[in-house]
């Protein structure tokens, strides 16, 4: 455990996160996804599932604030943004962001979601993960089951032409899951950021232009 902690601190992305004020190295995964797919374009209403410790929320706030000025035109724009982060773990407060400590698969959370957002979402982010057991086969199935619940939430709460970023584990059920999600979006891409650990089987699906 001590060795792993030392290796973590030597990780270049960990060091960069500390230097740039991000709470975790995972911020760079989202920044890579943004650079490749421009997911934050005209995104003002954003939901982050599995948000702890909050690094993706920090990135989301950065782009939302920029969007208010950048997209102040005759097309879809707003003079404000609303961001909610939810996790079963406690997340330290972030200014101008609504934090909910709750299981997002439960009806209670949906009530909070609907109360906070007056309209459907522009962007849903999910870096949520099951607690891994160490068995890659069973963990992958459990992660897919979690992702299916996120897709159900997405169907009901993401606006037409909205975008989704969701973390999946590669394995037996991945192709079937990909096909299922593809039915919901005009474009669906799989992407593994360079800042993901090489040994990890995580991969992200980026859904653009919800149908």
Judge whether 28 lies within some domain.
no
Instruction: Output the six-digit token pair for 97.
Output: 């962001």
Residue 4 forms part of a structural domain: no
> What's the CA gap between 15 and 33, in Å, rounded?
20
Host domain of residue 177: 41-210
Distance of CA 55 to the CA centre of its chain: 10
The answer to whether residue 202 is domain-embedded is: yes
Contacts of 95 (CB under 8 A, 6+ apart): none
Contact yes or no for 205/181 (Cβ under 8 A): yes
| 167 strand-pairing partners | 204
Chain Cα centroid distance, residue 26: 10
Residue 6 annotated among the catalytic residues of the structure: no
Number of domains within the chain: 1
Q: Which one from 167, 182, 197, 198 is the annotated catalytic residue?
A: 167
CA 53 remoteness from chain centre: 12
User: Does residue 1 fall inside a structural domain?
Assistant: no
> Going residue by residue through the chain (211 aa), what tens digit of pLDDT does each one get?
444 555 545 565 455 655 567 899 999 999 999 999 999 999 999 999 999 999 999 999 999 999 999 999 999 999 999 999 999 999 999 999 999 999 999 999 999 999 999 999 999 999 999 999 989 899 999 999 999 999 999 999 999 999 999 999 999 899 999 999 999 999 999 999 999 988 899 999 999 999 9
């Amino acid at each position: 455990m001590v060795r792993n902690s030392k290796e973590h601190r030597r990780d270049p992305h960990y060091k960069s996160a500390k230097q740039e004020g991000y709470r975790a190295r995972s911020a760079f995964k989202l920044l890579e996804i943004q650079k490749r797919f421009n997911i934050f374009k005209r995104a003002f209403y954003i939901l982050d599932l599995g948000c702890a410790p909050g690094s993706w929320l920090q990135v989301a706030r950065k782009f939302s604030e920029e969007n208010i000025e950048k997209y102040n035109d005759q097309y879809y724009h707003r003079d404000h943004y609303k961001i909610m982060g939810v996790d079963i773990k406690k997340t330290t407060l972030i200014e101008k962001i609504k934090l909910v400590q709750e299981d997002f698969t439960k009806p209670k959370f949906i009530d909070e979601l609907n109360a906070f957002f007056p309209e459907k979402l522009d962007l849903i982010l999910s870096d949520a993960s099951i607690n891994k057991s160490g068995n890659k086969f069973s963990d992958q199935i459990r992660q897919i089951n979690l992702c299916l619940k996120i897709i159900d939430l997405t169907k009901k709460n993401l606006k037409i032409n909205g975008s989704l970023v969701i973390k999946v584990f590669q394995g037996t059920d991945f192709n079937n899951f990909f096909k299922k999600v593809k039915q919901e979006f005009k474009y669906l891409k799989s992407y593994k950021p360079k800042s993901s650990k090489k040994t990890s089987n995580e991969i992200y699906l980026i859904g653009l232009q919800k149908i």
